Structure 1
Amino acid sequence: MGKSSTRSSTNDQTSYEAKGNFMPINLGCDPQHQKTLSDLFSAATATHEIRDTSLDNSYLWPEEEKILKSASQKRRWDFVTGRKCAHVAMATLGIDPAPVLIGDRNEPVWPDGLVGSITHTSNYAAAAIAHKSKILSLGLDAEPNEPLPHKVLSRISDTEEFNWVQNTKGKEIAHPGKLLFSAKEATYKAWNSVTKEWLGFRDAHVSFHLENQTFTVSINKASSIKTLSGTFGIAQDLILTAIEIPVS
């Protein structure tokens, strides 16, 4: 892909990893089932993650930097780290990094021929990217591994999901409510990228399969997409959920 501005991308990924801020985060409900971010997707998807509070907008393309003119400090960190992850993931796919702009709902607008998803929370950010010829859509979400407020759980869950959270809490998973919330966020990202339609929390029913750290989503509204499959990983301070919709 062509560049509208001059930037050097040679060995870009290596130079940033040398800072020590790109170490893979181990994810797993127990030590016997450890995963990393890349394990949540197929080989067709490139991923990158970062924990770095020192990044600034000097890492952005000029087109991206314009978006941050009036942004808060938190918004700047989210945007810069998310785009940096996206740029490195593009390089992993063998593509020259290019600007990732925003759409009408602040969603990422990917360069032609690519699909992707960006997430950020606290001091963590990550991106997943794939060729549109291989993957129809991606959904990636990160959340702090902490309790979900009861009021929020009641709002986002149906009866079956609510009961699952109550029965699982503190046993197999410390904070299943937050896992449910994250899975629904990843679902919305993957869904909206294809349909461009709104999907409410209760329009998606999530069933978890803890033995292999996967989940299934049933869409409860008229759509060409009725079922989605996802994976998840849990670190000490982080929950990650991922959905990949392959090209049929």
Structure 2
Amino acid sequence: MIEQLLPAGVSAVEAFDDTRPAPLFPEEQALLGNAVAKRRDEFATARRCAREALGALGFPPAPITAGPRREPRWPGGVVGAITHCAGYRAAVVARDEEFTTLGVDAEPHGPLPDGVLDSISLPAERRQLDRLHRELPAVYWDRLLFSVKESVFKAWYPLTHRWLDFHEAAVTLLPEREAFDARLLVPGPVVGGVTVTGFTGRWLVGRGLILTGIAVPARQPAFAG
């Protein structure tokens, strides 16, 4: 599914269960600590997806450790992202000579828990969600907004190594194209001499899931909205 959101040049591997978790390297085992079996299985499956995606680019199996925000640390020359939720795990990677950054997220296709929407959205976004709920009630737009902001953060963080709050990006959902624009409300990083002012991406709903994805080509580091 997730490959539908991403352009050629991005390697994507996904799994819908944990029947084939990968053996972990010691460095990866250390990241789990005393995690319960369910967490270990989902972690191992996501790492298998990542290794298979890297293998498609010609990289040999190697540990994929994590940084201070638990972001995956990729081999040199690679950008990528990992996501997982109930019933789904995926990894996407690409060469950094082709893409500046990637961000993906998966969520169950259901409403956000009570009280969460106000904490992750801006007033204008909530007005947009109200309209979309009336016009296209088959989609849980509040959960989609949350997923978009997760993808935005995953695309932002490797460029800045700084936190991005949910209220520091303003999202416009574009249902006619299954796409979105996310405008940064804080100063963005400078990439290739151009200031990044936001991100564009795509989304889809299927198999009880919401998936969102961002892929910024290396020759187009800035938001073009």
TM norm structure 2: 0.89
Aligned match of 2:171 in 203, 206, 228?
206
Would you say 1:93 and 2:93 are equivalent positions?
A: no
Displacement of 1:140 in angstroms is 0.5
- Give SS of 1:108's match: coil
Gaps of 5+ in 1: 1-35
- Aligned counterparts, 1:58-207, within 5 A: 59-169=23-133, 171-172=135-136, 173-207=138-172
Displacement of 1:95 in angstroms is 2.2
Q: Is the 8 A contact 1:161 1:206 kept in 2?
A: yes
Q: Is the 8 A contact 2:173 2:179 kept in 1?
A: yes
Say what the alpha-carbon RMSD is for the aligned residues: 1.5
Which residue number in structure 2 is paired with residue 227 of structure 1? Answer: 198
Aligned amino acid, residue 169 of structure 2: A
- Aligned counterparts, 1:24-43, within 5 A: 36-43=1-8
2:38 & 2:99 partners in 1: Cα distance?
31
Encode CA deviations 1:128-167: one digit per residue, 9 max, x unaligned: 0000111111101000000113411111111111011112
Closer, same or farther: CA 211–167 of 1 in aligned 2, 3 Å: same
Aligned amino acid, residue 217 of structure 1: A
- Give SS of 1:133's match: coil
The alignment-based identity, stated in percent, is 37
Q: Is the 8 A contact 1:188 1:199 kept in 2?
A: yes
Q: Is the 8 A contact 2:18 2:42 kept in 1?
A: no
1:171 & 1:55 partners in 2: Cα distance?
41
- Give SS of 1:63's match: helix
**Pairs aligned (count):** 212
1:214 & 1:150 partners in 2: Cα distance?
26
Q: Is the 8 A contact 2:201 2:214 kept in 1?
A: yes
Q: Is the 8 A contact 1:143 1:239 kept in 2?
A: yes
1:115 & 1:121 partners in 2: Cα distance?
21
Q: Is the 8 A contact 1:116 1:130 kept in 2?
A: yes
- Give SS of 1:59's match: coil
Encode CA deviations 1:183-213: one digit per residue, 9 max, x unaligned: 0000001001111111110101111111111
Gaps of 5+ in 2: 189-194, 220-225
Q: Is the 8 A contact 1:139 1:190 kept in 2?
A: yes
2:105 & 2:218 partners in 1: Cα distance?
21
1:183 & 1:63 partners in 2: Cα distance?
31
